[in-house]
């Protein structure tokens, strides 16, 4: 049976090889934009949210999606006041622990607190809409960010002046996160992720002292109820990436400031999958479809073949251009129709190689990039292995999609999918890696025809 998109994504999140890079567009309040609803209406209604998720799953051909991206849900349930906005998630406007309250004064949190029933119901309905095809992420406010909501900016001073208080606060927040994650898992999420942007603002020493001791048990707690676990950090968290990986979530998702190659090295050394980091503002919000495709390709190339998931750097702005996100999906699914249409409109042409040279066959392999796309790599290896057997009669080249001339070449020769093997200008093998004998026979036939 064919693998579902959900299974493909879960494989990558557990560092198992996948036939292509999976992709998770963070559709948060942007779901409201897809339905022409303001964010403050969208984020308060389970039916709207489920419809937004289903719409995004289809339109953006997502392998996984967050159901709700709102770091204020738990804070609201615990008594923080919110300010709502039509184009952003709400924001926390009051910090109960800064106004004389103790942890013991905060209300008990239950699945009925605040907007938790909305989120939980939205998960159920989204699951019913997308079935088993698409993975769902339950996003939980990370302990440090929830602690900031509760205590306000004093938290930074207290980390130095009153360590015990902050340890207790973080243990409390991690317990809230643990419970909420369990409820989201029960409602039908495949992945439970803590979103903790505040951890980008502290030193590795403070991360090790305060965050790591509560983070590691949190992943274990969620794993115990069968969830795949992840940590999302928005902002420049580079210096804390090793510490984060050492807490061993299944995956770490990072923002655009982080170098994906370096990220990959650290993650792989820890056996942790990773994801990110298409630039939000410059590309998805303000860029065009070409920018989106270029950024997606670059991320896929830098992220590498296994244990990497393509995603934006952080929650996509409300006004993100849907065509840009769809363009990323085209790249992910190896669909070039949009791009070909664009190049056709621009009437870009190239000069084709000479396919008539006697005594020599030219084999061209069109790839995403054989260094990062596994099927592309196998295709290139197949050609390389056969080439050796022809003693100079076969010349081969790789055309990587990111190279300027590749799309025009594909248009000229009618290449529709990637990877593809072209023998003297004829599209011969597409998508499926040929057996060595088949490939050899095709080349022999061409040599014979030329003789």
Using CB under 6 A, list all residues that contact ligand B12.
71, 88-89, 91-92, 145, 148, 153, 197-198, 200-201, 234-235, 255, 280-281, 313-315, 317
Picked from ligand B12, other proteins, none, the partner binding residue 71 (CB below 5 to 8 A depending on kind) is: ligand B12
Distances in whole angstroms, Cα of residue 328 to Cα of each of 22, 84, 158, 183, 440 = 11, 30, 43, 32, 36
- How deeply is 440 buried, as exposed, middle or buried, from its count of CB atoms within 10 A (0-12, 13-18, 19+)? middle
Beta carbon of residue 357, minimum distance to other proteins (angstroms, whole number): 52
Beta carbon of residue 71, minimum distance to ligand B12 (angstroms, whole number): 4
Picked from other proteins, ligand B12, none, the partner binding residue 246 (CB below 5 to 8 A depending on kind) is: none
Picked from ligand B12, other proteins, none, the partner binding residue 313 (CB below 5 to 8 A depending on kind) is: ligand B12
d(CA 89, CA 91): 7
Beta carbon of residue 280, minimum distance to other proteins (angstroms, whole number): 9
3-state SS of 391-436?
Answer: CCCEEEEEEECCCCCHHHHHHHHCCCCCCEEEECCEEEEECCCCCH
319 by DSSP, 3-state: which? Answer: coil
Contacts of 196 (CB under 8 A, 6+ apart): 141, 142, 143, 144, 145, 211, 231, 232, 233
Q: Which is nearer to other proteins, 290 or 319 (CB)?
A: 319
Q: Which is nearer to ligand B12, 315 or 330 (CB)?
A: 315
- Encoding tokens for residue 215? 């983070």
- Encoding tokens for residue 265? 């090295």
Beta carbon of residue 141, minimum distance to ligand B12 (angstroms, whole number): 8
d(CA 95, CA 152): 6
Picked from ligand B12, other proteins, none, the partner binding residue 298 (CB below 5 to 8 A depending on kind) is: none
Picked from other proteins, ligand B12, none, the partner binding residue 89 (CB below 5 to 8 A depending on kind) is: ligand B12
Beta carbon of residue 413, minimum distance to ligand B12 (angstroms, whole number): 41
Q: Which residues bind other proteins (CB under 8 A)?
A: 83, 85, 87-88, 91-93, 153, 156-157, 159-161, 201-203, 206, 239, 281, 285, 317-319
Please state at what angle helix 322-332 crosses helix 289-303, rounded to 10 degrees: 40
Beta carbon of residue 202, minimum distance to other proteins (angstroms, whole number): 5
């Amino acid at each position: 049976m064919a693998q579902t998109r959900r299974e493909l994504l879960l494989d990558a999140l557990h560092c198992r090889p996948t036939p292509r890079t999976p992709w998770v567009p963070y559709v948060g309040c942007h779901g409201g934009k897809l339905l022409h609803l303001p964010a403050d209406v969208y984020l308060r209604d389970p039916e709207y949210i489920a419809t937004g998720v289903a719409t995004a799953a289809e339109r953006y051909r997502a392998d996984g999606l967050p159901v709700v991206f709102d770091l204020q849900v738990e804070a609201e349930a615990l008594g923080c006041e919110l300010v709502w906005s039509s184009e952003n998630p709400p924001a926390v406007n009051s910090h109960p622990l800064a106004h004389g309250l103790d942890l013991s004064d905060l209300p008990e949190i239950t699945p009925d607190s605040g907007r938790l029933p909305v989120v939980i119901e939205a998960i159920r309905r989204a699951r019913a809409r997308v079935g088993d095809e698409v993975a769902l992420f339950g996003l939980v406010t990370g302990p440090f960010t929830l602690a900031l909501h509760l205590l306000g900016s004093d938290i930074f001073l207290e980390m130095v002046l009153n360590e015990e208080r902050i340890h207790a606060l973080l243990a409390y927040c991690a317990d809230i996160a643990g419970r909420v994650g369990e409820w989201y898992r029960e409602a039908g999420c495949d992945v439970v992720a803590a979103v903790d942007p505040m951890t980008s603002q502290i030193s590795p020493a403070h991360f090790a002292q305060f965050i790591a001791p509560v983070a590691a048990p949190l992943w274990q707690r969620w794993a115990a109820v069968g969830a795949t676990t992840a940590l999302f950090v928005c902002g420049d968290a580079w210096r804390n990436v090793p510490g984060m990986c050492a807490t061993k979530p299944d995956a770490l998702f990072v923002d655009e400031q982080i170098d994906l190659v370096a990220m990959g090295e650290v993650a792989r050394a820890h056996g942790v999958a990773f994801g990110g980091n298409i630039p939000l503002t410059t590309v998805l919000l303000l860029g065009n479809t070409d920018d989106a495709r270029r950024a997606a390709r670059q991320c896929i190339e830098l992220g590498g073949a296994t244990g990497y998931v393509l995603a934006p750097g952080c929650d996509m702005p409300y006004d993100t251009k849907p065509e840009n996100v769809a363009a990323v999906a085209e790249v992910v699914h190896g669909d070039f129709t949009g791009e070909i249409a664009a190049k056709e409109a621009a009437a870009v042409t190239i000069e084709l190689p000479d396919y008539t040279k006697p005594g020599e066959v030219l084999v061209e392999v069109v790839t995403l990039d054989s260094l990062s796309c596994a099927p592309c790599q196998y295709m290139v290896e197949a050609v390389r292995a056969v080439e050796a057997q022809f003693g100079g009669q076969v010349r081969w080249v790789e055309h990587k999609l990111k190279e300027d001339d590749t799309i025009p070449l594909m248009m000229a020769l009618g290449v529709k999918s990637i990877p593809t093997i072209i023998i003297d200008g004829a599209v011969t093998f597409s998508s499926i890696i040929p057996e060595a004998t088949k490939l050899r026979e095709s080349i022999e036939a061409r040599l014979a025809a030329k003789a």
